[in-house]
Amino acid sequence: GAVVSQHPSRVICKSGTSVKIECRSLDFQATTMFWYRQFPKQSLMLMATSNEGSKATYEQGVEKDKFLINHASLTLSTLTVTSAHPEDSSFYICSAIYEKLFFGSGTQLSVL
């Protein structure tokens, strides 16, 4: 079946550094991928829709310069959290559609 691979699963970084999270569709091509953010004990909030070969579409309130999304190929989308701060600590999840929605395993970001 279709698999979405997300890497890394966990990252701890110092405040001010940038962190890149990768989302790959392993056995299908995904022209569109989605990035979600989830705080503890809360629901998933859509951050942005990543479109292959074009600019991402960001949800209201999501800082484009803080969360850089690149979808350079049909199998890879990346989310870069720039100049990370403790308030950016969260669980980030990507997803892609292949007949139905598949999710990556998520990335737990902790900014010290």
Partner 1 sequence: GIQVEQSPPDLILQEGANSTLRCNFSDSVNNLQWFHQNPWGQLINLFYIPSGTKQNGRLSATTVATERYSLLYISSSQTTDSGVYFCADLEGGKLIFGQGTELSVKP
Is 14 a residue that touches partner 1 (CB under 8 A)? no
Q: Residue 102 in contact with residue 3, Cβ under 8 Å?
A: yes
Q: Residue 26 in contact with residue 5, Cβ under 8 Å?
A: yes
Q: Could you tell me which stretch among 21-29, 39-47, 62-70, 75-83 binds partner 1 (CB under 8 A)?
A: 39-47
Smaller CB separation from partner 1, 44 or 82: 44
Site string for partner 1, 16-35 (x = CB under 8 A): ----------------x-x-
* 13 vs 3: CA distance, rounded Å: 28
* 19 vs 17: CA distance, rounded Å: 7
Binding site for partner 1 (CB under 8 A): 32, 34, 38, 41-46, 49, 91, 93, 95, 100-103, 105-106, 108
